[in-house]
Amino acid sequence: QVQLVESGGGLVQAGGSLRLSCAASGRTDSIYFMGWFRQAPGKEREFVAVISRNGYSIYYANSAKGRFTISRDNAKSTVTLQMNNLKPEDTAVYYCAARPTICSGYACSTDRGYDYWGQGTQVSVSS
C-alpha cells in the first residue's frame, strides 16, 4: 500500500503563486507515475499534471501549460506542483495521485489506473 499526503494549499490573489507538495510513504518503489488532479465545487475531477518515475514523461492539462510545473524527488518520495499566475478558475481541491502502471498521453489524464489518492488540499484564488 501507498499513502499520499498533500500540503501547501491556501488562499491567494489572482496572479499569485502556490507550491503544492505530496509526500508518499509505504510501498513507494511500486509507484511509476505521480501527479495531480483537481475538483472544483459542482464539477467533475479533472487532470492537472503527471510525471513519470524517471522524470522523462511529463503531461499537463491545457489549462496548466505555461503556468504550472510538476517535479519529482524520488529520494524523498515527493512530487511538487509549482503554480504561477493563478486564476480564480484554478480554485479547487487538489489531489495527489499515484499509479504503479505505465501510461502515455491521454491515458495518463484519466483517473482510471491511479490506485492511490491523497485526501486533498484546498486552493482558493480570489479575483
Q: With contact defined as beta carbons under 8 Å apart, do 68 and 84 qualify? A: yes
> CA angle 107-109-114, nearest 5°?
80
The DSSP symbol for 114 reads: -
Question: What is the overall mean pLDDT for the chain?
Answer: 96
Please state, for a pLDDT cut of 90, what percent of the chain lies above it.
95
Strands (E), the chain: 2-7, 10-13, 18-26, 33-39, 46-51, 58-60, 68-73, 78-83, 92-99, 116-117, 121-126
Which pLDDT value is given to residue 119?
A: 97
- 62-98 pLDDT tens trace: 999 999 999 999 999 999 999 999 999 999 999 999 9
